[in-house]
Amino acid sequence: MTLMFRHATSADVVPIVRLVESAYRGDASRAGWTTEADLLDGQRTDAAAVAEIVGIAGSTVLLGEDGGQLVGCCHIELRPEAAYFGMFSVQPALQGAGVGRQLLAEAERVAAVEWAATTMEMTVLAQRTELIEWYERRGYQLTGETRPFPYGNERYGLPRRPDLVFAVLRKPLAPSK
C-alpha cells in the first residue's frame, strides 16, 4: 500500500478523532498492536483538542490516505528544541502493513525539509516497550528523560495503573535539501 499524504483541515477533525480512538482505546483497538486499552480507559483525544492543533502555524496533523480513505495520522509541531511527533495512529486492521513506517517517514521529511528541524522528539508511555523498540528500529533513541503522566486530567484518559510515565525519544533528522 502506497499512501497519499496531506495536511488536515477543520473538515477532518471528526474522522481523525475516530481513527485515534480506534487505535488506542477500547476493544476495537485490540485488533492492532498499539492499543493502550490495558493501561488507560476513557478517551485518547477529542474534537476540541484536535481542532485546536489543526491549522495552527508550526503545527499540522498529517494524514495518510489510501484510495481517499483515512488510514493513518500524526501530529507534528515545530518547537524551539525539536519537532515534536505525537498522536500517531494507524487503523488497527492495517497495523503491521507498513502504513506507520510510511507515515513516520513523511512526518520526518516534513519536519526536516519544510521546517528545517534537525531533531524529532516524542514521548511514549514507558510501559509500551514493544512500541519503544519499534521506534528504536527506526533510529529513535531513549534519552533517559521522563515526563509525568497527567493523572487527574481525564482529557488524556483514565489510568488503570499508578505508575504511568512518558519516556522521551529523539532522532536526528537529515538536513533539508
Distance between CA atoms of residues 5 and 97, nearest Å? 17
Ranges of each domain in the chain: 4-172
**pLDDT reported for residue 148:** 96
Q: How many helices (H) and strands (E) does the chain have?
A: 4, 9
- β-pairing, 59-66 vs 83-90, is unpaired
Query: What does the pLDDT look like over 40-89, one tens digit per residue?
Result: 888 889 999 999 999 788 999 999 999 999 999 999 999 999 999 999 99
Say how many residues make up the chain: 177
CATH of 4-172, one of 3.20.20.150, 3.40.50.11060, 3.40.1390.10, 3.40.630.30: 3.40.630.30
pTM: 0.92
Distance between CA atoms of residues 76 and 90, nearest Å? 15
Q: Can you tell me whether residue 126 is helix, strand or coil?
A: coil
